[in-house]
Amino acid sequence: MIDVTRELVAYAIIGAVLLVGIPSAIVILRRRHRQKLRRRGIKRYGH
């Protein structure tokens, strides 16, 4: 029974990290892409 709860806690922690990590990673990647375009001189991006 202890093994099941330990496994459940591990999956819950992994799920929480993914729920927080994936959206923040998308935001960071978009920002980096936007900065790269801005450095290249492209003013309008995504509009």
State the chain's mean pLDDT as an integer.
86
What's the pLDDT score for residue 22?
A: 94
CB 45, CB 37: distance < 8 Å:
yes
Three-state secondary structure readout of 14-35 = HHHHHHHHHHHHHHHHHHHHHH
Q: For residues 45 and 37, give the distance between their C-alpha atoms in angstroms, rounded to a whole number.
A: 8
Q: What DSSP character marks residue 9? A: H
Domain ranges of the chain: 1-42
Q: Is the pLDDT of residue 44 over 70?
A: no
pLDDT, tens digit (0-9, with 9 covering 90-100), for 12-29: 999 999 999 999 999 999
- pTM passes above 0.95: no
Count of residues in the chain: 47
